[in-house]
């Protein structure tokens, strides 16, 4: 009986923590949902990889703002905080860091591509150079 109660408590806490993340304005989306959301008006698409990685291939209409660059915050300050921002990197680590930074800076709607451009490419989605 104690195990069942404990299991239910853990499940409840897990579900509420997921709900909290979405209410904070950061969504991690799979490739299909990310691509669909990109089609909405006023989306600001940001590739947070290095300029060299960006040059190797990126999602069309993406703006390159290197999360590890010296001017990331200054570049991001030029974006509209009221419009949706979509970020991605190579595998998801840097974009998660960028999404947290954007949230801290007051951006309202932030989406992060789960698995980054690696997942995008694995589903044969288009990129440009």
- Active-site residue identified among 89, 96, 98, 113: 89
Stated as kind and residue range, the H or E segment containing 29 is strand 26-29
Told to judge if 89 belongs to the known catalytic residues of this protein, a careful annotator would answer yes
Q: How far apart are CA 2 and CA 16, in angstroms?
A: 21
Angle (CA) 77-80-86 rounded to 5° is 95
Q: Contact at 8 Å (CB) between 81 and 42? A: no
CA 51, 55, 56, 62 dihedral sign is: positive
Q: How far is CA 80 from CA 1, 21, 90, 96, 98, in A?
A: 52, 22, 24, 19, 15
User: Any idea which residues carry the catalytic annotation?
Assistant: 89
């Amino acid at each position: 009986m104690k195990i069942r109660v404990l299991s239910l408590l853990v499940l409840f806490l897990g579900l509420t923590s997921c709900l909290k993340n979405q209410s904070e304005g950061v969504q991690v989306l799979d490739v299909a949902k990310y691509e669909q959301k990109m089609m909405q008006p006023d989306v600001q698409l940001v590739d947070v990889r290095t300029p060299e990685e960006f040059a190797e291939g990126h999602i069309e209409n993406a703006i390159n703002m290197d999360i590890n660059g010296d001017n990331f915050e200054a570049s991001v300050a030029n974006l509209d905080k009221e419009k949706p921002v979509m970020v991605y990197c190579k595998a998801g680590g840097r974009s998660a860091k960028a999404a947290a930074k954007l949230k801290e800076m007051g951006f309202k709607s932030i989406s992060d591509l789960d698995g980054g451009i690696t997942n995008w490419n694995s589903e044969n989605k288009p990129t440009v150079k």
